[in-house]
Structure 1
Amino acid sequence: MLALTGHFIEEEEFNLKSLLLDCVPLLESHTAKNIAECIKQICEEWGISNKILLAVSDNGANIKCAIERELGWKHFSCYTHTLNLSVNDTLKEKNIEELVSKIKGIVRHFKQSNFAWEKLKKFQVQAGATPKRLLQEVPTRWNLYVLHDKTMCRAKGTTKQCNAQDSRHNANLPQLQEEDPTPAPTTSSQTKSIWQDFEEKMQGIQPEGTAQSRAIVEVQRYYDDKIIARTDCPLKWWRDHRSIYPNLYKIAATKLNAMASSVPCERVFSAAGNILNERRTRLGTRKLQQLLFLQQNSL
């Protein structure tokens, strides 16, 4: 299926609004031409073909080609997809890959053996903890990798007890090496978060305008204004300063609706999976489209 979402700024309240334009099945080959034709048809139905600022998608060659070459729109690669690719490359480092492989083996062992799971659950109860199943990492579900490691850390002690109590059933269970209990000395630079470093660098930055821009009083005032804090909402800042920068405010209303990721479309697919379940396998395509449209646009 192909999901298309639209994002715009409501001028009165200056809030970002998002809508599901359509979610349609791609019955033909997923070529750039067919994808572009489908996107074009949806945009024409909504009358927004000439109002597209840019399109955000994953890094698939066919969708990028459809947007840039076939439709002639500006394309922005999904930030979260790109970040996920970077994280996956990091996880391929030898030491990390070996550790992840061991953890996967441990999780697999307790998932495949009911006896091992009952023993693990028993030891969790004895330790005063709520019994929790270990989660296996799935490449297509990014946050599951973090949850997978968190559940492994919580159950580390009980998995060791299970292995020690019954070595017959756990002969092939991977062993995790114990860490040195003595904490390594850390410096202030090591404990500093990435956002602390970002904010320290931004404090010393004073925006500078070019000679041409300083000829325009409004632009000059904007360039000389303070940089807002990272946690502040840019849309709220523009709403509060609309009388100070009336012309720039109009430009911001047409440009700040650009999304950094294609997560809204991914959420549509997740919602479709919740609607089309084992008890609703006879839902037709058109009915599923209507239910998704109502669900996504009713909030």
Structure 2
Amino acid sequence: MAFESVAAQGITAKIAEMIAWSDLPFSFAESPGFMMLMEHLQPRYEVPSRHYFTEKALPALFKKTADKIRGLLVSVPYVSFTTDIWSSSVAPMSLLSLTAQWIDSSFALRRATLHVQEFRGSHTAERIQTAMENMLNNWAIDNTRVHVIVRDNAANMKKAMKDMMVPSVGCVAHSLQLCVHEGLLSQRSVTDTLANARKIVGHFKHSPLAYSRLEDIQMELNVDVRRLQQDVQTRWNSSLYMLQSLLQQQRALSVYAAERSLPATLTATHWELMTKTAEVLSPFEELTRDVSRESATAADVIPAITVLSRVLSREEADHGVKTMKRTLLEAVEKRFSDVETQPLYYIATLLDSRYKDGFFTKPVNLSLAKDHLIQEVAKAEERRGASAMPEDAAAEPLRKVKHSEAHSTVDITFLEILQERQSQGRSVSTTSAETQVHNYLSEQTIPKNSEPLHYWRDRAAQYPSVAAVAARYLSAPCSSVDSERLFSAVANVLDEKRNRLKPENVEMLVFIKKNINILQ
């Protein structure tokens, strides 16, 4: 088979995709096993050299993917982004990410990785600003099309976005982590207990013999044979998972400790504190998972904080749990004090058909949010040239929520708050924008596990101007998890065996891997 034939070019392109998709080294194309396989499958095909893939095949695939993304972005009026900085532990390289998220004309959420480029030198706000502006210019996206950039809470990132004069917000998942550290994990009794727990888990992690004996005890006690989880101190939820794994194996560990020595002793007081800590942190963990989902948007923030605040406000008979909850509530109120007065969050919440106006804690904030939404809808009508007032559709009956639909404390609280709001009356509208907003808010909310974008796809003709605003505000993620997942992909490419990869090759491989589905 001729090397330049159409069939051969197709095979070469697929090999290039496989190299990027499966985190394979460029040398894979010259490996004996792969050469043997290709000889068997297609004897006439001559596999190109690794240099051909590095210099021609993968750059061509990179360009093809980038051109496709440019074509998708050109007609999108508003795009949301996430960004973060990551430093490799195996190579002297720092990378700056930029991921994009938008809603297309069919109300489908689209994503693309735009950059994961080398970021050399000091991480000052000025240098971040310059790099970000260059990246946006590379995709012909001016500031008027930037809906929001989700970043971390570092001062240099905040200043860079402010100096760029683009809307930006901090990562909600990161803020929740700070609440946990400030409100609970910084307490001396908790830190001491975690330190002892960490020593015990480390003992079994580094001793196969000890783990083998613990597994024998687990089988003798007829309990689940599970490994203990080591925590990462920078991630509070990993500390929760460590505590839960120890609590699950309390009986087995007690038997082990009676027979053999451990590097630390867990007293009855320690076990009680671990139980209380795990109980109090469980709602945080559930909500952190919720706001870290790929489908999570800015609309999820106000409901999450309202639910969390109510859970933490509930009276407890146990004084220890009560104290923990109080300190955590204070941290949440401090970190999220202005969440109901930020337009990104309150308009997105109103436009999410699962939430609407059900999770605002202060009437004045709700009134402000509705007024602002009506203004945005009126602007959308002007842009659309809409003049006819939509028919005043009858509001659907309110959906009765049942506790049987809930499966956790968070779910039960969510339904309670929604039911309270649905029992309240709604205002009468006069203008076209007010009519659309009123009719939309008067409809019943959809179930929590439903897809709000499907709702807007089906209602776009009924509420065209409201739908246009929804397409803008529901495009915004509420965390920078997209960038974190991106850097996880980078870590699979730039590892100890390939720590000398050029930054441009790292970006090319990761760009193709993260965006390959766009070509399908």
Same fold (TM over 0.5): yes
Q: For residues 220 and 154 of structure 1, what CA distance do their matches in structure 2 show?
A: 50
**Larger % of helix: which?**
2
Q: RMSD between aligned alpha carbons? A: 2.7
- AA paired with 2:187? E
CA deviation digits over 1:97-148, x for unaligned, max 9?
Answer: 3332321221133334454334324323444567544322112345422332
Counterparts of 1:235-250 in structure 2, within 5 Å, are 235-250=453-468
Identify the residue that residue 216 of structure 2 maps to in structure 1: 122
Q: For residues 145 and 34 of structure 1, what CA distance do their matches in structure 2 show?
A: 35
Identify the residue that residue 331 of structure 2 maps to in structure 1: none
Q: For residues 132 and 425 of structure 2, what CA distance do their matches in structure 1 show?
A: 40
Identify the residue that residue 204 of structure 2 maps to in structure 1: 110
Identify the residue that residue 77 of structure 2 maps to in structure 1: none
Deviation at 1:292, TM superposition (A): 0.6
Q: For residues 114 and 258 of structure 1, what CA distance do their matches in structure 2 show?
A: 46
Relative to 1, partners in 2 of residues 1:252 and 1:97: Cα closer, same or farther, differing over 3 Å? same
- AA paired with 2:479? S
CA deviation digits over 1:223-249, x for unaligned, max 9?
Answer: 322233322221111111112101211
SS at match of 1:23: strand
Identify the residue that residue 503 of structure 2 maps to in structure 1: 285
Relative to 1, partners in 2 of residues 1:209 and 1:33: Cα closer, same or farther, differing over 3 Å? farther
Tell me if 1:228 matches 2:433.
Answer: no
Could you tell me which of 156, 173, 192 is aligned with 2:264? Answer: 173
Q: TM-score, normalised by structure 1?
A: 0.85
CA deviation digits over 1:139-174, x for unaligned, max 9?
Answer: 2345422332232223322222222113xx43x431
Identify the residue that residue 196 of structure 1 maps to in structure 2: 412
Could you tell me which of 121, 140, 143 is aligned with 2:234? Answer: 140
Counterparts of 1:79-118 in structure 2, within 5 Å, are 79-89=172-182, 90-118=184-212
Gaps of 5+ in 1: 181-187
Q: For residues 160 and 57 of structure 1, what CA distance do their matches in structure 2 show?
A: 45
Gaps of 5+ in 2: 1-94, 273-313, 317-406
Tell me if 1:260 matches 2:351.
Answer: no
Q: Is the 8 A contact 1:5 1:265 kept in 2?
A: yes
Could you tell me which of 118, 124, 135 is aligned with 1:25? Answer: 118
Q: Is the 8 A contact 1:102 1:176 kept in 2?
A: no
Q: Is the 8 A contact 2:108 2:453 kept in 1?
A: yes
Deviation at 1:8, TM superposition (A): 0.3
Q: For residues 217 and 159 of structure 1, what CA distance do their matches in structure 2 show?
A: 64
- AA paired with 2:453? L
Q: For residues 58 and 210 of structure 1, what CA distance do their matches in structure 2 show?
A: 41
Q: For residues 15 and 33 of structure 1, what CA distance do their matches in structure 2 show?
A: 35
CA deviation digits over 1:74-113, x for unaligned, max 9?
Answer: 1111110001111222222344333323212211333344
Could you tell me which of 132, 141, 155 is aligned with 2:249? Answer: 155
Relative to 1, partners in 2 of residues 1:277 and 1:207: Cα closer, same or farther, differing over 3 Å? farther
CA deviation digits over 1:195-232, x for unaligned, max 9?
Answer: 21221221232473476657743233223222333222
Q: For residues 258 and 32 of structure 1, what CA distance do their matches in structure 2 show?
A: 23
Identity of matched residues, %: 28
- AA paired with 1:264? D
Relative to 1, partners in 2 of residues 1:295 and 1:141: Cα closer, same or farther, differing over 3 Å? farther
Relative to 1, partners in 2 of residues 1:126 and 1:276: Cα closer, same or farther, differing over 3 Å? farther
